[in-house]
Homo-oligomer: A and B are copies of this chain.
């Protein structure tokens, strides 16, 4: 049994392996390159688990993260609009590995081109209606101007079109999700058709865990970049994307107080451990995690009618059913399935496997 005395992020390696296998297998089956996003786990050791499944290229979300993983991986895409203030960092990385960046404006390409000393690959970030970043797929004028600027540069190589259909996270049914996914792919495929005569090869890259998990149609797509699927979380579970038994991380927290009068327990485990990411329940009330019991094999299914009601910096307030509350006292350990595993991992900076091994992360 694990000895837990303060908030500890437990990691079930078997579940991770199954999650990686599932996605790698789907990629193989549908003839896609899996370029997993490593911002979820941010760990060199966990990253290496992907090797067994034929993964050779990865995605990260910052130059700092690329630097951390560059010791082990020589094909990295920084899936974030390139930050021209980090041109030195980009040059250093591009000297060492095959580096891809994301561009979405003519000015940025021109500016970067003047600063680059090494060659980088560039994807044009396409907005397929998520409306966060990128050039909208219909804005051919802007895409042309970026392509022209790339052509004029001897350090930037055009690699293809990349999108993140993050609005799949907001889909309220599988049908809606499928529609978003298909529309998004169609927008990329149309662009490829428009420009394929000018380029030998145009890679189409997509990235969200909901569609990569639950969809099977990827016609025309070359590469997928999901990240969250290695751990999943309550957000994906509530959307029906994964089952609870696929969630591979769990924050183990000591109970410090039990309030039977209001059916609440207080845990040592707050916003600096779980993150303040919340999700709405059926009554549109926000909650911050689901509750599980630890056992010899890891942890069980979410307890009915039990959830993290609120979080302060170190406190978590847990709403519990009368039956479950009767079984705990100060000093008990509760497991919390996080709403957003990427943010919880980022805060905890370390994992503890069920075999009692610590796994470190990028600092």
Contact = CB atoms under 8 A, between A and B. Distances in A.
Classify chain A: how many residues form its interface, as a range: 35 or more
A6 B63 CA distance: 10
Contact of A80 (B89, B111, B132, B315): B315
A158 to B, nearest CB: 19
Contacts of A6: 62-64, 83, 85-86
Interface string A238-281: 00000000000000001011100010001010011001111000
A348 to B, nearest CB: 12
Interface string A119-142: 000000000000111000000000
Contacts of A166: 312
A188 interface: no
Given A111-B331, A262-B131, A329-B107, A276 B85 contact: no
Best-buried of A262, A272, A329 by chain B (most CB within 10 Å): A272
Interface string A307-341: 00010111101000000000001110000000000
A303 interface: no
Given A62-B268, A257-B105, A330-B111, A133 B315 contact: yes
Best-buried of A82, A132, A329, A342 by chain B (most CB within 10 Å): A132
A278 B277 CA distance: 10
A257 B111 CA distance: 13
A44 interface: no
A61 interface: yes
A47 interface: no
A275 B266 contact: no
A84 B276 contact: no
A256 B81 contact: yes
Contacts of A108: 257, 330
Contacts of A257: 81, 104-105, 108, 133
A111 B258 CA distance: 15
Nearest to A63: B6
Contacts of A346: 272, 313
Nearest to A85: B5
A314 B62 contact: yes
A266 B81 contact: yes
Interface string A145-167: 00000000000000000000010
Contacts of A342: 313
A288 to B, nearest CB: 10
Given A330-B107, A343-B272, A86 B5 contact: yes
B4 A268 contact: no
A347 interface: yes
A39 interface: yes
Interface string A36-74: 000100000000000000000000011110000000000
A4 B80 CA distance: 18
User: What are the 7 closest A-B residue pairs judged by CB atoms, nearest first?
Assistant: A81-B256, A5-B85, A276-B276, A81-B257, A61-B314, A84-B331, A272-B346
